[in-house]
Amino acid sequence: MEDLIDTQSEPDQRGIKIDWVGISSYSHPIQIHDKSGIKQNTVAEFSLAVNLPQECRGTHMSRFVEALNESPISMSVNELHSIPQQLLGRLSAKHSKVSIKFPYFIEKSSPQSGALGLMDYEVNFETVANQDEVDAKIVLKIPVTTACPCSKAISERGAHNQRGVVTYSVRFNDTLWIEDLICLVESCASSQLYSLLKRSDEKHVTEEAYDKPVFVEDLVRNIAIKSNDLPNILWYRIEAENFESIHNHNAYAVIEKR
């Protein structure tokens, strides 16, 4: 079949280079090495792309899949550079871009009874590479409890609270564990979430959240302060969104370090 026309490799006369071309919504099983040394098995959704110079008509889409198939994907936070660098060679490209989004689990003890349960988080490794360097970001979605300071201050009893989600994106040097980033964010909310809470635990998190109300503004500011204190965080973007229990819309706030 070697004489089938290679339409993609035709020259292109339009004089327009393409920033990114590749595949999206590609599912593939992976292993992630967590802080405790365990290799977590999970399933990732990949987006993979490269630049395309103006003189080429098309990229070779099958090579993205081949690149992932070449070896089992088992990686740690220190190895985010490997897949984007592999794409540069595989697709003869100057720039490559990779997003690897997956559910990630942390075992937690509940705060009073010590009951063990797995909490799930969404992690996304986003990288852009060229020959000389790889720009890597970790993007975490961390669900939290937020109790409203205004509601508490003005009400004789109770305070509205709700689930919120913090989207925490960081660039970093040195090793940075997902577990530590999640811990940082959770310490800034009214309470962290748990998958398993017995009655004594529920009392604990209810009172803790009531005692530590945070606006969505407080939440992003507190995370920014703690992030500023960590020298290995070079850049961050913090977005918090509260699924307000008293409204059908959400409240949100964003801080980006520039």
Contacts of a copy of itself in 11-50 (CB under 8 A): 12, 14, 16-29, 40-43, 47, 49
Let me know: does 180 contact 35? Beta carbons within 8 Å: yes
Residue with tokens 């989600």: 165
Closest-CA residue to 151 (of 251, 224, 223): 251
- Does position 224 interact with a copy of itself (CB under 8 A)? The reply is yes
Of residues 151-170, which lie at the interface with a copy of itself (CB under 8 A)? Answer: 151, 153-163
- Asked whether the CA dihedral 183, 184, 185, 186 is positive or negative, the reply is positive
Nearest CB to a copy of itself, comparing residues 8 and 175: 8
- Does position 209 interact with a copy of itself (CB under 8 A)? The reply is yes
- Does position 244 interact with a copy of itself (CB under 8 A)? The reply is yes
Alpha-carbon distance of 229 to 223, in angstroms, equals: 10
Nearest CB to a copy of itself, comparing residues 175 and 218: 218
- Does position 71 interact with a copy of itself (CB under 8 A)? The reply is no
Rg (C-alpha) for the chain, rounded Å, is 22
Binding residue (CB under 8 A) for a copy of itself from 125, 168, 194, 236: 194
- Does position 220 interact with a copy of itself (CB under 8 A)? The reply is yes
- Does position 225 interact with a copy of itself (CB under 8 A)? The reply is yes
Which secondary structure element, helix H or strand E, spans residue 53, and what is its range? none
